């Protein structure tokens, strides 16, 4: 790929990050995300949180966008009361990443949501979430694996046509699908594992519930990079 597409990946702020003698607030992103973008043929750029009104200008500089995994989406965003098992809210991050999603959809910039990113895409389009799914986190801080089956005829099935085992860590899931979204993969228990906008409704848009940056399969990210190169 002569001109590698520029892929932005959302990051988040954490206080108390330490390196050397310093302990400061930092914009963080697990290294698996940029490494996966690079392995898939793209150039990775980290997007630190910013004012939501700057999202459109940010997305305009990108060829593709990844919304990374992270904390639970604040339930007020989809009109629900918080479940006691829902994590603490991150309203600034929600606002920034929802603005990024909206800007990417408006500009038809290829978009991939990963775990929280998929859930946020669903919420951005008016969908809701199941706030706690029993048994989907094997142990705190431990990535599990389970099979995911594609829905024939979908964008996702065109990228990964076979049932495959994926690295996963989540306790929330899609409930009511957002406007225009279709489910394109499921777990054995019926949990929605991928969502997408059908071709022609918003460019290349895919969300996956698992964490491809924690595995070896680059096909989903490569598909994003190729779509970014064509856009």
Active centre residues (catalytic): 115, 211, 213
**Tokens coding 229:** 């190169």
Q: How far apart are CA 150 and CA 157, in angstroms?
A: 5
Helix (H, G, I), strand (E, B) or coil at 191: coil
Helix intervals (H) in 63-212:
91-107, 116-124, 155-159
Report yes or no: 25 and 13 within 8 Å, Cβ to Cβ.
yes
Report yes or no: 112 and 221 within 8 Å, Cβ to Cβ.
yes
Report yes or no: 124 and 178 within 8 Å, Cβ to Cβ.
yes
Report yes or no: 121 and 103 within 8 Å, Cβ to Cβ.
no
Report yes or no: 155 and 182 within 8 Å, Cβ to Cβ.
no
Q: CA 190 from chain center: how many Å?
A: 20
Note the residue count of the chain. 231
Nearest to 209 by CA among 141, 118, 130, 137: 118
Q: How far apart are CA 133 and CA 59, in angstroms?
A: 33
**Tokens coding 44:** 């990775």
Report yes or no: 166 and 215 within 8 Å, Cβ to Cβ.
yes
């Amino acid at each position: 790929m002569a001109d590698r597409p520029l892929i932005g990946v959302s990051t988040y702020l954490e206080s108390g990050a330490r390196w050397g003698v310093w302990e400061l607030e930092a914009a963080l992103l697990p290294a698996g995300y940029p490494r996966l973008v690079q392995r898939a043929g793209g150039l990775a750029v980290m997007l630190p949180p910013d004012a939501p009104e700057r999202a459109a200008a940010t997305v305009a500089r990108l060829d593709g966008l990844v919304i990374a995994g992270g904390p639970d989406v604040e339930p007020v965003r989809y009109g629900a009361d918080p479940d006691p098992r829902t994590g603490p809210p991150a309203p600034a991050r929600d606002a920034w990443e929802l603005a990024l999603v909206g800007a990417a959809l408006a500009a038809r910039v290829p978009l991939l949501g990963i775990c929280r990113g998929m859930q946020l895409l669903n919420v951005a389009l008016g969908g809701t979430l199941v706030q706690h799914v029993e048994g989907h986190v094997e142990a705190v801080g431990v990535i599990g694996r389970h099979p995911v089956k594609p829905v024939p005829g979908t964008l996702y099935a065109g990228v990964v046509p076979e049932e495959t085992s994926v690295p996963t860590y989540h306790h929330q899931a899609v409930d009511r699908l957002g406007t225009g979204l279709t489910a394109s993969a499921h777990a054995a228990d019926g949990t929605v594992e991928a969502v997408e906008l059908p071709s022609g409704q918003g460019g290349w848009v895919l969300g996956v519930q698992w964490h491809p940056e924690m595995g070896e399969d680059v096909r989903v990210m490569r598909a994003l990079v190729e779509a970014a190169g064509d856009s």
